[in-house]
Structure 1
Amino acid sequence: MDGAKNAEAADLPLLIVSEEVCEAVVSRADAFTAVEAVFGAMAKGDAWNFPVVREALGHADALYGFKSGFDRAGLTLGLKSGGYWPGNMAKGLTNHQSTVALFDPDTGRLQAIVGGNYLTAVRTAASSSVSIAHLARKDAKVIGMIGAGHQSAFQLRAALEQRSFEKVVAWNPDPSMLPRVEAVAKDAGLPFEALERDALCAEADVIITITSAFEPLLMRKWIKPGTHIACMGTDTKGKQEVDPAILMDSTVFTDEVAQSVTIGEAQHAVSSGGLADSAIVPIGDVINGDHPGRSSDNEITLFDGTGVGLQDLVVARVAMDRARAEGRAQSIIL
């Protein structure tokens, strides 16, 4: 009997879940639920990320690396391999390219290869939207977008579901890309306005930064009391989207403190001595009810979304389970 069970386990197929299938089976709500849950598990010590490997290739100006981890609460183990190729857009491809490998935590056996491009965008948007749900003022009415690249549309769609926003304002280094953000606003029935950065900050109650900048795009003097800022673009040493003084004057939350202080937006404020890593709050503490989150309507809150491997793994797990249940995955017997 045991031999039969072992033979059956050995014959389990490797699943291949394509990008198209991921888009079909993983919704924004699915991603929000999975990411919120794993942030809570991380804060409880029930899930953890392994050290990130991220290097410049010295070819095609690309950054390449691995993110991995284990969610003991959800029994999800794996890694995401991929990175950023800045010349891809000119080739008709997205700049971010990645693939997720999932393993059986009981045996170490490879379970699935899952397309990671759509999942990277939807999980990153889920991360900022989780921060908006838990930290933005309830009466937030204007949302500002800094950045209009591929991920900006995902970010805005997810964010609009968290508050009753009445207007979208946006800025991008290349204004010709702003119609991507405007189209999302139009689909949501909201007015859109392209503004300079200082004017955007004067209007916006929530600001999402989603760029690949290496210098501050937002200055402290522009940020009004009560603003919630989700910094989603800084995930590599040297990258930077906002003035470090903003973090020094904010209550700072993050997905993972270890990444926030080394490769996230907080790296600059921490290295200068202006922000102690002990002052940065895992957003999982807010989700679990162990931290109150926003304490007043005038408080500036900032979420440093560095992008942890567990985000990729838990949404890939949703894709694998759904694709298998719906017969959408390709199967290979190794």
Structure 2
Amino acid sequence: MNDVAPAGRHEILIVSEEVCEKLVGRAEAFKAVEGVFAAMARGEARNFPVVREALGHADALYGFKSGFDRAGMALGVKSGGYWPGNSARGLTNHQSSVLLFDPDTGRLKAVVGGNYLTAVRTAAASAVSIAHLARQDAKVLGIVGAGHQSAFQLRAAAEQRDFEKVVAWNRSPEKLESLVTVAGELGLSFEGVTLQELGRQADVIITITSSFEPLLRGEWIKPGAHIACMGTDTKGKQEVDAGLVATAGVFTDEVAQSITIGEAQHAVAAGLIEEADITPLGDVINGVHAGRKGDDEITLFDGTGVGLQDLAVADAAVRKASVEGRATLVRL
């Protein structure tokens, strides 16, 4: 006789892009990302190896980021990539979805739209780095890059310090108009500048590009600045010169990614720094590392983007959507 009870019908929650935008704001994303960085540093959350490949079609890159946060009980995978031709179709170039699973059974628990969450969690990561590493008296915010992600970065960063001015650079200057608008909404003055001038003025700099060559040089950066490098997430990409990385206090979301696909990859390859010179930002959050050594130290956050960030914000979306009755329930 079979004494195994029937499993019953399987219920899956679907949380759409629109619902995610309504429920997960900057505050929720900041809390989720800060918490998962802390859990990673404590050894309570682990990212699994990233799969990222060129499709050989539509010039697209496609991949998977996954992991398990034992502290937050979030298990899952983000599937998606980059389609450079999407903007011509009126679509976001980055496309992704998050699948969450029940850690106790492995059964699929939720399907969550990942496009907005990717943008808000990336901005949250740089914001967490600013909160823990930038000088308290920072007044000028620099933005390098004016793509889709830049406005998210500006809004999130502006909440971390009492900024008075935004200086920005983009390869196509006309695209800075979106940042002009956001800065105006935030009551901040705005100036489009050269990269050298940006480095001279900015107390905090966020780089958010797809560059494969250094855009910022160490001699351009003012003492005490904090730099959040958020665009380098693939082997070969680079936003700042390796010498700048070598002279800065370097922090990251995950050291293993920082030295292989992050901004630190070039300084490590050149023998300018070693893995031991890079500190997980979670150690600062947990009080294990003091963070900034002094007012004149240049600090750099190598934001490579980890799957656990996506799982954390997706889990927050699912929890809120469930409580507020905004998730779509599918019974299989």
For 1:190, give the aligned amino acid: L
In the aligned structure 1, how far is the partner of 2:84 from the partner of 2:261?
19
Return structure 1 stretches of 4+ with deviation > 2 angstroms: 9-12
In the aligned structure 2, how far is the partner of 1:156 from the partner of 1:19?
21
Superposition map of 1:134-153 within 5 A: 134-153=132-151
TM-score, scaled to structure 1: 0.97
Name 1:93's counterpart in structure 2.
Answer: 91
Name 1:66's counterpart in structure 2.
Answer: 64
Aligned: 1:207 with 2:200: no
CA offset digits 1:238-268 (Å, max 9, x no partner): 1111101110000000000000000000011
Aligned: 1:110 with 2:108: yes
Aligned residue for 1:295, secondary structure, equals: coil
Name 1:161's counterpart in structure 2.
Answer: 159
CA offset digits 1:152-208 (Å, max 9, x no partner): 000010000000000001000111110111111000011000000000110000000
Name 2:32's counterpart in structure 1.
Answer: 34
| Gapped regions of structure 1 (runs ≥ 5) | none
Name 1:324's counterpart in structure 2.
Answer: 322
In the aligned structure 1, how far is the partner of 2:166 from the partner of 2:155?
11
Name 1:295's counterpart in structure 2.
Answer: 293
In the aligned structure 2, how far is the partner of 1:36 from the partner of 1:318?
13
- The structure-2 alpha-carbon separation of the partners of 1:71 and 1:10, relative to structure 1 and needing over 3 Å to count, comes to farther
Aligned residue for 2:265, secondary structure, equals: helix
In the aligned structure 1, how far is the partner of 2:93 from the partner of 2:272?
33
CA offset digits 1:77-132 (Å, max 9, x no partner): 00000011111111111111000000000000000000000000000000000000
Name 1:268's counterpart in structure 2.
Answer: 266
CA offset digits 1:25-46 (Å, max 9, x no partner): 1010000000000000000000
CA offset digits 1:121-153 (Å, max 9, x no partner): 000000000000000000000000000000000
Q: RMSD of aligned C-alpha atoms?
A: 1.1
Superposition map of 1:167-246 within 5 A: 167-246=165-244
In the aligned structure 1, how far is the partner of 2:42 from the partner of 2:271?
28
Superposition map of 1:46-85 within 5 A: 46-85=44-83
Report the alpha carbon displacement of residue 11 of structure 1 after superposing the two structures with TM: 2.8
In the aligned structure 1, how far is the partner of 2:284 from the partner of 2:9?
43
For 1:23, give the aligned amino acid: E
Deviates more, 1:302-311 or 1:178-187: 178-187
Name 2:313's counterpart in structure 1.
Answer: 315
Report the alpha carbon displacement of residue 224 of structure 1 after superposing the two structures with TM: 1.2
For 2:216, give the aligned amino acid: L
In the aligned structure 1, how far is the partner of 2:238 from the partner of 2:62?
18
For 2:36, give the aligned amino acid: V
Identity rate of aligned residues, in percent? 70
Aligned residue for 2:314, secondary structure, equals: helix
In the aligned structure 2, how far is the partner of 1:129 from the partner of 1:61?
31
Report the alpha carbon displacement of residue 10 of structure 1 after superposing the two structures with TM: 3.5
Report the alpha carbon displacement of residue 12 of structure 1 after superposing the two structures with TM: 4.6
Alignment size in residue pairs: 330
For 1:31, give the aligned amino acid: A
In the aligned structure 2, how far is the partner of 1:86 from the partner of 1:300?
34
Which of residues 276, 284, 287 in structure 2 aligns to 1:286? 284
